[in-house]
Structures are given as C-alpha cells and as structure tokens.
Amino acid sequence: MENIVVIDNLALEYSAEEGKARIKAIDGATLHIQKGSFTAIIGKNGSGKSTLAKCVNALLMPSAGTVVVDGYDTADEANVWEIRQRAGMVFQNPDSQIVSAVVEDDVAFGPENLGVAPDEIRERVDASLMAVNLFAERKKAPHLLSGGQKQRVAIAGVVAMRPKCVLFDEPTAMLDPSGRREVMETIQRLSREGITVVLITHFMDEAALADRVVVMDEGKVVLDGTPHEVFSPASAIKTRGLEAPIGAELAERLRERGVPVPPELIDTEDLVTYLCQYK
C-alpha cells in the first residue's frame, strides 16, 4: 500500500535560551504512514509526539532528515499550502480553533481561504457537519456548544478542506468523558471512510482503537506495531513509563491466575464478551 507520510531520520533541535545547549525534540525518527491507515502515536510528556505531528503539517521545519507528505517535501516553503490541504490538523483546545460566530460559517472558513467556489463550499459544509453529526447545530453560536461538540466543529472545519490525512494532537485532552467519546466516535468514522488518521494521545484506550500504535521516547520511535503487539503483555509498555489500556491490564492479571485469555484481547468490551463465554 502507498505511503502518504514518509518521515526519514527526522531531527529537530531548538534553543530554550540563548547561550544554552540546544534541545533535541526529535532525534532521528523514521516513520512511514500508509494511506487510509489509523495510526496512534503515544509517549510520555516531552517524548516528541506533538512535535512530530507539527513537522508533518509543516508548522515546524526539520533540522535534519526529511518529511514528505503525499509527495511534497515540507522543507520546501513553496509546498506549505499544498501540504496543509493534504494534511489537516486538529489541536487540543477547541476554543482556540474556532474563528466564527456561527457553526456553519466556521466550517466554511477553510474552503473559503482555499478559493473554493461558493456552491461547492455549501456542499462541503453540509457534508462535513453531517459527518460529525452536527448538521442540526449548524446555525448555532459555537459558545453554546459543549466541549465535545466544539471539537467536532473543529474537525468538520478540517474535513471541509478535503484532506487526505488528518492529524489529531491530543484532541480529547480537555474534554469530559462524554466529549471524549463523541470525538473518538467521529475519528473512527473518518477512518472507516478512508481518511488517513494520525492520533496523538495520552489515553491508552484511545490508542488501542487504532490499527497501529507507535511509541516515542526522547524524540525516537522506540516501539511500533499493532495494539496487541504494543500493549500485550501490559507490563512491557510500563517499562516506557506508560500505562496499558485497562482491558490489557485485566487480561494480563487473569492470565497470571490461570484464565487462558488470548493475548490479542486488550479491549475491555471484548474481554467481557470472552469472559461471559468462558467455561
């Protein structure tokens, strides 16, 4: 399958203070992401995962190595707008992404800036709001919406620009459990529709929903595999300073007590279903 994002030996350094030693935010990371895939990137605070996403979106330029998005090298400033049309980004705080006083106007903002024809903008706005289940709220003011709904407005605004890939930088970090669930259902729906999803998260149960989990530490890619390869046994991920999903943790404890839980069971609901059938 064709790759949409190709990151090779990426390094990014910066100076926190003049005269101080330079800090390596990314240190030789290599990561290839296939079109249509759902990849979760996890790691401790300061591991470089959000910095990596910003490099893909051309918000940050590499100190060394390359980042190529759908054939466009991010190091070439002439490619920036082409890259951002192909790789949209949703950030942590929904309030910081909303620019208009009416939901549908906010979703239209991106396509308008791309010079899309008015009739097509109308079609894109309606389709994007339906995709995130907010069409009924299109005439409302964003400040009247819940946190989860605001984040879905932000997602609709990105989707309306018709990107091939959407980068989510901890999109549920500021939301309550209900808002988290709304946003994750939207992300999964986009993935099923064929959009490439890259999810930066510190919630392990969210990462477990992806096709692939990448673990970063000190600016490097240190683990890369399917969710069950990364999270089973649960004790392995703990050596990286991370917690395993609750389902993976429970499954490991049950295996220690002699219950033959299959290693691929890391989701809590799947584990409950298995246990209900177990004799």
- pLDDT 10s digits, 194-232: 999 999 999 999 999 999 999 999 999 999 999 989 988
pLDDT above 70 coverage of the chain, percent: 97
Instruction: Indicate the average pLDDT of the chain.
Output: 91
**Among candidate residues 209, 225, 241, the one where a domain is terminated:** 225
pLDDT for 87-118, tens place per residue? Answer: 999 999 988 889 999 999 999 999 998 889 99
CA distance 75 to 11: 12
* Residue-level pLDDT at 237: 86
Residues 25 and 86 grouped into a single domain: yes
Per residue in 138-193, pLDDT tens?
Answer: 999 999 999 999 999 999 999 999 999 999 999 999 899 999 999 999 999 999 99
One domain, residues 235 and 258: yes
Last residue within a domain, chosen from 199, 225, 251: 225
Q: Which of 51-55, 203-207, 266-270 has the lowest mean pLDDT?
A: 266-270
Q: How far apart are CA 168 and CA 27, in angstroms?
A: 22
Residues 38 and 28 in one domain: yes
Question: Do 256 and 200 share a domain, yes or no?
Answer: no
Q: How many domains does the chain have?
A: 2
């988290």: which residue's tokens?
180
- Burial letters for 188-219: b for 16+ Cβ neighbours within 10 Å, e otherwise? eebbeeebbbbbbbbbbbbbbbbebbbbbbeb
**Residue 185: predicted pLDDT:** 93
Are 208 and 93 within one domain?
Answer: yes
Is it the case that residue 136 has pLDDT exceeding 90?
yes
> What pLDDT sits at residue 166?
95
Question: Looking at the structure, do residues 247 and 169 belong to the same domain, yes or no?
Answer: no
Residue 227: predicted pLDDT: 92
Spell 91-123 as b/e; 16+ CB within 10 A means b.
bbbbeebbeeeebbebbbbbbeeeebeeeebee
Question: Do residues 259 and 154 both lie within one domain?
Answer: no
User: Residues 191, 251: one domain?
Assistant: no
Q: Are residues 58 and 159 in the same domain?
A: yes
Percent of the chain residues past pLDDT 90, beyond the cut: 69
Task: Determine the structural domain holding residue 162 and report its residue range.
Answer: 3-225
Q: Which of 16-25, 36-45, 156-165, 210-219 has the lowest mean pLDDT?
A: 16-25
Domain shared by 111 and 206, yes or no? yes
pLDDT band with cut points at 50, 70 and 90 for residue 24: confident
pTM of the model: 0.90
Q: Where does the pLDDT of residue 19 fall: very low under 50, low under 70, confident under 90, or very high at 90 and above?
A: low
Specify whether 16 is located in the same domain as 149. yes
Domain boundary residue, one of 185, 201, 225:
225
Tokens in use for 45? Answer: 């605070």
| Pair 92, 68 in one domain | yes
CATH number at 91 reads 3.40.50.300
Residue 263 vs residues 233, 255, 260, 266, 274: alpha-carbon distances, Å: 7, 9, 9, 8, 12
Q: Is the pLDDT of residue 18 over 70?
A: no
